[in-house]
């Protein structure tokens, strides 16, 4: 699989969000990663459906919506109206299989996410219902954290099981991705990389997006 970059919009300047999205798209972003936080499942609050609806109206790439919320099944229908990929946490208290099925039935690609403390083997049974799996390489809730190397064996285990089952499932990693950690994540099996500070701190976002994507060539 080719490597894709999903920039984290949480790091953008929200007063100039339209311009930042245009810069990311011009730079070669494959999708936009949108972190939805409720202050309950994670200790932070970000944004919800109205902001995602506005982003959808001004973006030309798929929206990769990451629900970091308690009992996400309650809100799947609303977010599915604007998401292209809709993900939620295995640990968030919803029926995992039924929620993954509902996401697909609503026309979105399904994504299941695990926190750093979760053993990847716990979600093996759900892989046939997933279009993507997201491994958190930081504790979810805040940007700017350092990459946790413990994510690498999790990526390797998931990649091995996905291949064993003959599935076409993207493997995404989120947290602390930069010029040093991106090659490690890709080597471990990730093909979709979420990046925030690494991109937004650059004078030329496109150069850094290109660098990550070329690691998979």
- For residue 163, indicate whether it is catalytic: no
Question: Which of 20, 30, 35, 38 is flagged as catalytic?
Answer: 35
Question: Which of 38, 64, 170, 174 is flagged as catalytic?
Answer: 174
- For residue 174, indicate whether it is catalytic: yes
CA 4 vs. chain centroid, Å, equals 11
b/e burial code for range 91-116 (CB count within 10 A of at least 16 → b): ebebebeebbebbeeeebbbbbbbbe
Cα(147)–Cα(134) distance, integer angstroms: 14
Residue 166 main-chain phi, psi, to 5 deg: 70, 35
Residue 151 main-chain phi, psi, to 5 deg: -70, -25
Catalytic residues: 35, 174
């Amino acid at each position: 699989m080719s490597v894709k970059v999903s920039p984290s919009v949480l790091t953008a300047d929200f007063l100039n969000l339209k311009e930042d999205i245009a810069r990311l798209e011009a730079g070669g972003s494959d999708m936009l990663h949108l972190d939805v936080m409720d202050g309950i499942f994670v200790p932070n609050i970000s944004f919800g459906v109205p902001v995602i609806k506005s982003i959808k109206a001004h973006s030309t790439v798929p929206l990769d919506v990451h629900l970091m919320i308690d009992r996400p099944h309650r809100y799947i229908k609303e977010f599915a109206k604007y998401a292209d990929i809709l993900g939620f946490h295995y640990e968030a208290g919803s029926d995992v299989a039924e929620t993954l099925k509902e996401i697909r039935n609503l026309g979105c690609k399904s994504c299941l996410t695990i926190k750093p403390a979760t053993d990847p083997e716990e979600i093996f049974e759900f892989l046939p219902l997933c279009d993507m799996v997201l491994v958190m390489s930081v504790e979810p809730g805040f940007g700017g954290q350092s990459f946790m190397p413990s994510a690498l064996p999790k990526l390797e285990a998931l990649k091995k099981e996905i291949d064993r089952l003959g599935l076409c499932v993207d493997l995404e990693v989120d947290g602390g991705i930069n010029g040093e950690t991106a090659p490690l994540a890709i080597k471990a099996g990730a093909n979709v990389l979420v990046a925030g500070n690494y991109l937004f701190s650059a004078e030329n976002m496109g150069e850094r997006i290109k660098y990550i994507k070329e690691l998979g060539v």
